[in-house]
Structure 1
Amino acid sequence: MHAADGRPAAQKPPGAAIASAHHLATDAGFAILQAGGNAFDAAVAVSATLSVVEPISSGIGGGGFFLLHDAATGQDLFLDAREIAPAAATPESFLDKDGELDRDRSINGAWSAGIPGLPAALVELAQRHGRLPLSASLAPAIRVAREGFPVYGRMARGYQARRAVMERYPGTREVYLRQGRPIAEGDLFRQPELAATLQRLADKGFDGFYRGETARRLIRGVNQAGGRWNADELAGYRVKWRTPISFDYRGWKVTTAPPPSSGGIALAGMLQILEGWDLAQLDQAQRAHLVVESMRRAYRDRTFFLGDPDFVHIPQRVLTSKDYALGLRATIHPERATPSDLLSGRPTPLEDEETTHFSIIDADGNRVAGTQTVNLLYGSGLIPKGTGVLLNNEMDDFALKAGTPNAFGVMGFEANAPAPGKRMLSSMTPTFIESADRVAVLGTPGGSRIITMVLLGILGYDAGLDAQQVAALPRYHHQWLPDAIEAERGAFDAEAVRALQAMGHKLDLPGDEAAGGRGSSHVWGNFQTVEWDRRNDALRSGSDPRNPVGKGAVEAATR
């Protein structure tokens, strides 16, 4: 293999690189690599440790997606560990006496929780692709849960935001209250019950969570809180191995997430629309205009066509084809915004932003992009007593009532309606990109903005940026409806704002009334990426500077 300039390209990385949202998770991954594990063992350690130290974002009571590259075979694989709807969770079960969506039931407590998938994924990764026993890879997470870690600001603030819900449940109060006082920044946060649950998983694998003592405690806790779980559906959970989506963009091979993620199909549409222009030759406003128009069209398709592929037919071949993208490209005016109401339809389903991502390359060239979540801040708020497991509230990611907005003011339709055993639509988009001389692993949390952040990251790598520059890129987003560009503070200069407005775009800018802003979040996402530059055989990592907890991850990311 040769690089683009004709020099031989390195065949194996010179070491390993890990980027995650917390330095303890990054350290856990390196400890497992140093113990003889590979990237897949390290992924188990990073994922499980994030589940301990980032309960605000993810946990073994939730689910995730894992994109894998096996260097020995050259094969790319996608592990779907999305949560599933319990049998009792029919659309009717989420309606109140007037036939309206019961919002408390959809986001809080037992009814909001899907059957978790993350523990099964950790078992599957270790058994199918790891070198070390599951017990070895889970050991760092068990130790951190038992010994504790300092509560950080975001974790304490998130608890205050969800306190009224979380303190409904005895099991949650036992974990998060200290003699009646809620956790505060700087407290040592120990989780002995979660450590014991992880130890049962380590000792007994799948049965250590989905059957036996842990399962009994989960079912008892959910049902005591008013839900309806049973032993058969917990024991019947299975991960799914799916074929990743793969396509080319300007000399890059892009490998990314298939349904029930909406990210891969949307990325294929957006990038194949954009390859019709040389973005590097355009000014900021023109480039953003074209990127936004590609976003608008991809998110419109997301609404109508995407759901769990085991339950609905998805025209994936068409939606990811260059011919389809060419047709969409032809509808874009190079100097005029397309009003979203001219692209007939209704709003796009969303997810909350509380998710986490990690990226790994090991010394053999194996790669993992992992994105995992419990949905809202602290998920459902419910910890079944004796488990330490904070359950997700992913049921709100279904279209629980067609045409009715969920907690975030957005809608879904029949393709994403709940059914027993069905996986809810997701925006999580773990992704690999590879050119003749560079390889990168990337992903982020951010709800429906995940897809557009990954898009901007790929465009950043294509423009020649390194991993840390990509992680720090300013972000903007359009999701078809509402018909406005959301942007971080400083994403556009004043001249670009004026030019975009002159083209007919509405902008939602934080605290900028003169620019028409309605106060969108000043920052979003928590981008984690690693790259291997095969031209000079260098590893680089990028951890989002927006995340103060993750600063240690940058320092420890390449070894």
Structure 2
Amino acid sequence: MIERNTPHGDAVTTCRPPAHGRLRWHGILLALAIGSFGMLAHAQDTAADKTAAVASANALATEAGFEVLARGGNAVDAAIAVGASLSVVQPEASGMGGGFLAVIHDAATGKDTFIDAREMAPQAVSEKDYLKADGTPNRDTSLNGPLAAGIPGFPAGIAYMAGKYGKLPLAVSLSPAIRLAEEGFHPSGALVRSIGHKADVLRRYPASSGKFMPGGKMPQETGIFRDPNQAKTLKALAEKGADGFYKGAVAKELVKSVRAAGGTWTLADLASYRAKERQPIELTYAGYKIVTAPPPSSGGVALAEMLNILAPIDLKSMDEAHRIHYLVEAMRRAFRDHNEYLGDPDFVKMPLDMLLSPYYADGLRQSILPDQATKSAWLPSVHAKDPGMHTTHYSIIDKDGNMVSMTATVNTTLGSSFVAGKTGILLNNEMDDFALVSGQPNAFGLIGGSANAPVGGKRMLSSMTPSIVVGKDRLAVIGSPGGSTIITQVFEGILAFIDGKNAGEITAQKRIHHQFLPDRVDIEKGSDIPADVLAKLKAMGYEINDKESWGNMNVVVWDKTTNTKTAASDPRNPNGLGKVETIH
């Protein structure tokens, strides 16, 4: 299901117009093979140039991607295989009951496009369902159970991608996931821990406890985890395309189970869902072209705004304290505008011309004091009067140079914890990404106003920021999970890439984060930032907050000067692995 859509208005300068090893342990794996990049590359025609790169958060999903590539698929087919397999083996982070945002590069035409498969609100959405009797936010209904779930976009998105940009039938790309669900796999430690963490909520719903705690027992990493109900739903999708999910028997079971548990979905909500193809945001920074996500992602707009603010500043000449100071002030202003203006482009007319303009960035830059923190309270109001942290990312480049940067989510760990009856589909809790109660923070501390207020059929704002960075001699595919920190992770990762760092260095560097409110700088614990630098930042007026590690970045970098590629998964995950493999 697809609609063609272009954002309101034309952005200025920064935006184009508007086996049997499958049962083995499967911690995070990054599989890399060195590939040609179609129109973007002019490397020698060697055997190495005919291979492909796949980066995902799970070994079995990575293998699924390579399996589909070996069967003649392209990067899009591989992305479908990876995403569907993650729905089975990494349900705590993404799946068929959630959504995704993807940037696609087509090597044959040089075209970049963006697929919006974000979830949407059911027509009967009502603020009262997310309020307690005293008028305060009800965090339980916004995060747990069927009221927390938006209409999923993942099935419609992959069905459209297969039909327009893939080379293989959808059924072929879904076959590895179906096999994994039927034959089973060893659950990862992360999945087992997530089930334990959400066990009390899962036990509220028979289908949820039946799927994740079969026989009333917690799964073990040494055991075999099977998902036969999801396998049946995947088969319906493989046979009938999007209609196999949004209409017919699967749709009826989804609605029946949601409504029986107190939700408001209807068959019309499902039948009306459409994935949407939009123009990605494009900007230039330091001679590099960056292709990234437009609304309903807030990530691309915030990324462009931050880079535009920093464009004329020589960060390399600064001492570390002042470099951090300017990074934080750029973050602060971008997140202020995130809260102020951004929402679903089909419902909200956003001032993208202004937000993406370098002239607007000039004004924001002038408001930065060279030696003093700007208090968020000093900036204009949080809301215009009228205008996560569990996700996954995968990056793929095939032998012909087609590229996919795709971020998928069910929002927080195990989403709503609600499995929809006999479908085996775990539903998201993306309704929490709306400004359900104006002025009140969501699970990630983000505050929104009317632009992101819930309306039937509207898509909630997202922080997902899948991106591709292209320079004369170097190229990167980058993205990460992490809720609101996704935006700053990708921002810092792109700066590191432009500074010449390789994939391993980009994923390993310590992170900082500021999101306007709360007005503090989060600095990763164990950071190598010297004590005297931290003292200087505090003297400037910053509140420094030591925070546990965040994110799980996956990066692929190609250096065309040496025709070498590097790939890395986040070293913060102890199960991260690297692998070099040639695809014939």
The aligned counterpart of 2:8 is none
The DSSP-based 3-state class of the residue aligned with 2:198 is helix
- Is 1:506 the counterpart of 2:543 in the alignment? yes
User: Is residue 52 of structure 2 the alignment partner of residue 16 of structure 1?
Assistant: yes
Corresponding residue number in structure 2 for 1:101: 137
3-state SS in 2 of match to 1:68: strand
* C-alpha distance in structure 2 between counterparts of 1:129 and 1:469, whole Å: 33
1:266 matched to 2:299 = no
How far the C-alpha of 1:410 sits from its partner, in A, is 4.1
CA displacement at 1:232 relative to structure 2: 1.4
**What SS does structure 1 have at the residue aligned with 2:396?**
strand
| C-alpha spacing 1:409/1:527, structure 2 compared with 1 (3 Å) | closer
Q: 1:537 aligns with which of 543, 563, 573?
A: 563
Contact 1:152 1:186 in 2 (8 A): no
Cα deviations by residue, 1:266-311 (Å, 9 ceiling, x for unpaired): 0111011112222222222221111111101111111111000100
Distance 2:332 2:228 in 1: 47
Displacement of 1:207: 1.1
- Measured in 1, the distance between the counterparts of 2:545 and 2:444 equals 16
TM-score, length of structure 1 as denominator length: 0.93
Task: Say yes or no: does 1:525 pair with 2:551.
Answer: yes
Bigger mean CA deviation after superposition, 460-469 or 142-151 = 142-151
Local SS of the residue matching 1:182:
coil
1:376 positional shift: 1.2
Give the alignment of 1:449-528 within 5 angstroms. Answer: 449-491=485-527, 492-509=529-546, 520=547, 522-528=548-554
Partners of 1:45 and 1:260 in 2: CA distance: 25
Q: 1:483 to 1:11 in 2, by over 3 A?
A: farther
Q: Which residue of 1 aligns with 2:482?
A: 446
Q: Does the residue aligned with 2:422 lie in a helix, a strand or coil?
A: coil
In structure 2, relative to structure 1, the CA distance for the partners of 1:24 and 1:234 (3 Å cut) is same
Contact kept? 1:56, 1:377, Cα under 8 Å: yes
- 1:126 equivalent to 2:162? Answer yes
Query: What's 1:305 paired with?
Result: 341
Identity of aligned residues (%): 50
Structure 2 residue 270 is matched with structure 1 residue 234: yes
**Contact 2:344-2:461 at 8 Å conserved across structures:** yes
Between the aligned partners of 2:581 and 2:291, the Cα distance in structure 1 is: 23
- Write the deviation string for residues 521-547 of structure 1: whole angstroms up to 9, x where unpaired: x21101011122222222221211122
| One-letter code aligned to 2:503 | A
SS at match of 1:64: strand
Aligned equivalents of 1:389 and 1:226: distance in 2? 17
Distance between the aligned counterparts of 2:310 and 2:581, measured in 1? 32
Cα distance in structure 2, aligned partners of 1:537 and 1:409: 43
Q: 8 Å contact 1:70–1:366 — kept in the other structure?
A: yes
Shift in Å, 1:334: 2.1
Secondary structure of the 1:150 match is coil
Q: Is the 8 A contact 2:507 2:553 kept in 1?
A: yes
The 3-state SS of whatever aligns with 1:61 is: coil
**Which residue identity lines up with residue 555 of structure 2 in the other structure?**
T
Q: Distance in 2 between matches of 1:89 and 1:214?
A: 22
Query: Residue 192 of structure 1 corresponds to which residue in structure 2?
Result: 228
Change beyond 3 A, Cα 1:427–1:11: farther
How far apart in 2 are the matches of 1:77 and 1:134?
A: 20
The list of structure 1 runs, each at least 4 consecutive aligned residues, that deviate by more than 6 angstroms after superposition, is none
**SS of alignment partner, residue 135 of structure 1:** helix
- Matched with 1:5 is none
Paired residue secondary structure (2:509): coil
1:240–1:557 Cα change, 3 Å: farther
Q: Secondary structure at the match of 1:530?
A: strand
Give 5+ residue unaligned stretches, structure 1: 1-7, 510-519
> For residues 298-377 of structure 1, what are the structure 2 equivalents within 5 Å?
298-346=334-382, 352-377=388-413
Distance 1:477 1:557 in 2: 35
Spell out the pairing of 1:128-207 with structure 2 (5 A cutoff): 128-207=164-243
What's the offset of the Cα at 1:213?
1.5
Aligned to 1:547: 573
Q: 1:328-363: CA deviations, max 9, x gaps?
A: 111112222111111132399xxx210000011111
The amino acid of 2:43's aligned partner reads A
- Residues of 1 paired with 2:223 and 2:366: CA distance? 57
SS, match of residue 102 in structure 2: strand
Aligned to 1:3: none
Aligned residue type for 2:533: A
CA deviations on 1:141-164 (whole Å, 9 max, x unpaired) are 111111222122221221122111
What's the CA shift for 1:490? Answer: 2.7
Matched, 1:288 2:288: no
Is the deviation greater in 404-413 or in 495-504?
404-413
Q: Output one character per residue of 1:363-397: Cα deviation in whole Å (capped at 9) or x when no partner.
A: 11111000010011101111022111000010011
Cα deviation, 1:219-256, whole Å, max 9, x if unaligned, reads: 11101111121111101110011110011000000110
Shift of 1:123: 0.5
Q: Aligned partners of 2:44, 2:345: CA distance in 1, in Å? A: 36
* 1:408, distance to aligned residue in structure 2 (A): 4.3
State the one-letter code of the partner of 2:448: G
Matched to 2:164, the amino acid is R
In 1: Cα distance, 2:458 partner to 2:580 partner: 39
- The residue type equivalent to 2:569 in the other structure is S
Cα 1:302–1:379 shift into 2, 3 Å: same
Q: 1:250 aligns to what?
A: 286
Q: Which moved more, 1:426-435 or 1:160-169?
A: 160-169
**Residue of structure 1 equivalent to 2:79:** 43
88, 102, 105: which one aligns with 2:124: 88
Tell me by how many angstroms 1:11 deviates: 8.2
CA contact (8 A) 2:444 2:484 kept: no
Name the TM-score, length of structure 2 as normaliser: 0.89
Q: CA deviation at 1:557?
A: 6.9
**Is the 2:210–2:216 Cα contact (8 Å) retained in structure 1?**
no
* Secondary structure of residue in 1 paired with 2:277: strand
- How far apart, CA to CA, are the structure 1 residues paired with 2:231 and 2:177? 8
The 8 Å contact of residues 151 and 184 in structure 1, kept in 2 or not, is answered as yes
1:493, CA displacement in angstroms?
2.2
SS at match of 1:377: coil
1:405: Cα distance to partner? 2.9
Aligned to 1:381: 417
**Higher mean C-alpha displacement, 413-422 vs 324-333:** 324-333
SS in 2 for 1:86: coil
